[in-house]
Amino acid sequence: MFGISEVKMISFNIIYFIPLVSLVIMILGNAFLGRWLANQKGRDSGTWFWLCLFFGVSALLVLGLSQSVDLKKASKKTEEPNNTKIAATWECPKCNSKNNNISYLCLGCGYNFEKSYPNTSASIICPKCNVENMSYRETCKECGYKLY
């Protein structure tokens, strides 16, 4: 059946094959463990999978020693409202008609708002009475509240 040289060759291949398969299983196990741990800590599991795959136990230790990310606090930071309200229209100082922010010519009388007030393009809502005022006004036209 098999000669002595053929038996030595088969045993030689098995001797190196088993440790190689074991090493691949350990590396993949480390990567999947890193992915699971990253998910538990609120971190990006895909990135940590690849980091643990390439950097092994050292990446897993860094992940294990890192703090958890609180996703509720992170989402609250992005949901905080801005207190400055900017309206989408402006009021013509000549005829008091409302115009959209894109246009600088009054639709009512043709007044060129950009030439008169080149640095203003939006309205400001008064925090006291919620009346819309042009951004060039220093006080509210309704209640007199100082806007700036």
38-97: pLDDT as tens digits: 988 888 889 999 999 999 889 989 988 988 877 655 555 454 444 444 556 767 777 888
Q: What is the pLDDT of residue 7?
A: 54
pTM for this prediction: 0.42
Sheet strand arrangement including 123-125: 86-87, 123-125, 132-134
The pLDDT of residue 36 is above 90: yes
The pLDDT of residue 142 is above 80: yes
55 in Cβ contact with 44 (< 8 Å): no
Q: Which residue has the tokens 């919620």?
A: 130
Average pLDDT over residues 101-108: 70
Spatial separation of the C-alpha atoms in residues 147 and 132, rounded to whole Å:
11
Phi and psi of 46, rounded to 5°? Answer: -65, -45
108 in Cβ contact with 97 (< 8 Å): yes
Spatial separation of the C-alpha atoms in residues 51 and 66, rounded to whole Å:
14
Pairing of strands 132-134, 89-91: unpaired
